[in-house]
Amino acid sequence: MVDVPGVSSGKKSPDARQITTVYIMLLVAAGIGFFVIRDFGEKLAARPVISSPAAIASGTLPQSHLLPQVLVALVVVISVARILGFVCQRLGQPRVIGEVIAGIALGPSLFGRIAPDAMAFVFPSAVSPVLGILAQLGVILYMFLVGLELNSELLRSRAHATVAISHASITGPFLLGAALALTAYSSYAPAGVTFTSFALFLGVAMSITAFPVLARILTDLRLDKTELGVIALGCAAIDDVTAWCLLAFVVGVTKADLYGALMTVMLAGCYLGIMFGVARPLIMRYLAPLKNAELSVNVTAWVLVAVLASAVMTELIGIHAIFGAFLLGAVIPHDGHIAGSFRHKLEDVVSILLLPAFFAYTGTRTQIGLLSEWSDWWFCSLIILVATLGKFGGTLVASRFTGLDWRTSASLGILMNTRGLMELIVLNIGLDLGVISPTLFAMMVLMALVTTIATTPLLRMLLPGCPPSAGGSDQPDAEGFRA
């Protein structure tokens, strides 16, 4: 029997008005804090970062040999990902941890060091663009599936407390990440990047919680139906939506001037309103007759067309294509037959084929060897510490304020510190935009790994009686689509 803590601390919980007042004060304080940090940071100068060596071994490849070479690369990537994913499941960790480690191991950090000729054969430079396209397609479809998992009822239940806890778990690491940018900017920011963009991105990257992997952990530990599980899922869902909105703003700031960024945010808001105010009712009306029917190929095709069209639209607006895919998934009722059918149709292809390609693509860009000095490793440790303290501390304080007991609050803090694949998606966006350097990218990847690996063992220590993970299970759980 799992010893799950109760949600009451024994003291009188604050009412909705008190929570709202403190919540507004929190947001105001966070805004003031960021602008104070920005004032100091804008006076700093970024040190030019020396370009890193090519992540994938160089070499030309005849066009006629490209397909066989891509197939060889995918065979290696999928095989290693499945093996290490299985090992991690046996050790009580989510399969995604093994798949991420597989991607890093197949890159220059390990494979390229011990067998550079073999890496040049498996991953010649001509394969990199193909892997990149497969990776982007995989992430777009993955975010659509994440959107399908979004439970709007969780956002409404315990609304005041859940929003307060969730946003406290964002503002804490966001401000600490922005403050950390004061130290990191001169050493790890690429040349030409403004402090504002750098600090905003570092703050957002520290704030991410991986809703899907958190859901998988709760399911494995049989906590998903408990009060703790419901609160955690609600907080994580709000956290993800808020963090993606913040990231959209950061992308807008980075790609354009302030006016362009504000226009991007306004257009994104209009698109959000259209999707939920117009598209959602139309989708529900159209899909209602299909409630219990098997999805036809025609319906499946048109929904996929809508996913890609929505992704293109958000890309044109000035934010990343993944937002459009996520948004379309979010407007489809998560508990309906259609959402379930799409998860069943897509998750195997996405989790077994496309996401390992994304991990391999990320791995080829992650060069642990760039952390060549003790100062680099010290700063990497500092990033892990700041990210953990921000998430855990912000969640703990807000949970206690809303009336939860110490053990529930601490459990929530541990769960919200889970980052997983969502963090890798954010980091790849930052590297593509040139907001972070390859060295800082490697540090942040390590931070994502450490914080995600720590979640399950720490939670078991805090909650005696949690069952072991379903190590023998072979569900398609690259990060756990099924909550």
pLDDT tens sequence across 351-391: 888 888 888 888 888 888 888 788 899 999 999 999 999 99
> What average pLDDT does range 133-156 have in this prediction?
78
CA distance 214 to 240: 11
| Domain regions of the chain by residue span | 69-462
Does 470 have pLDDT greater than 50? no
- Residue 52's pLDDT is 43
- Residue 24's pLDDT is 78
Banded model confidence at residue 472, pLDDT cuts 50, 70, 90: very low
- Average pLDDT over the chain reads 79
User: What residues have CB less than 8 Å from 122, skipping those under 6 apart?
Assistant: 72, 73, 76, 106, 111
Q: Rg of the Cα trace of the chain?
A: 22
Banded model confidence at residue 340, pLDDT cuts 50, 70, 90: confident
The number of residues in the chain equals 483
> What average pLDDT does range 424-448 have in this prediction?
89
What the block records as the tokens of 166 is 């969730």
- 284 vs 90: which has the higher pLDDT: 90
Banded model confidence at residue 481, pLDDT cuts 50, 70, 90: very low
The amino acid that residue 117 corresponds to is: D
Range with the poorest average pLDDT among 52-66, 226-240, 303-317, 356-370: 52-66
- Residue 423's pLDDT is 85
What the block records as the tokens of 104 is 């890093």
CA distance 371 to 377: 6
Nearest 5°: the CA angle 274, 278, 279 is 90
- Residue 176's pLDDT is 92
Q: Which CATH class is domain 69-462?
A: mainly alpha
Q: Cα torsion at 370, 383, 236, 307 (round to 10°)?
A: -30
Range with the poorest average pLDDT among 331-335, 364-368, 422-426: 331-335
Does 418 have pLDDT greater than 60? yes
Range with the poorest average pLDDT among 74-78, 224-228, 275-279, 345-349: 224-228
- Residue 55's pLDDT is 43
> What average pLDDT does range 266-286 have in this prediction?
84
Range with the poorest average pLDDT among 145-149, 213-217, 301-305, 477-481: 477-481
Does 258 have pLDDT greater than 70? no
- Residue 482's pLDDT is 39
DSSP secondary structure, 329-367, as one string: HHHS-TTSHHHHHHHHHHHHIIIIIIHHHHHHHHHHH--
CA distance 288 to 452: 39
- 205 vs 47: which has the higher pLDDT: 205
> What average pLDDT does range 307-325 have in this prediction?
85
- Residue 473's pLDDT is 42
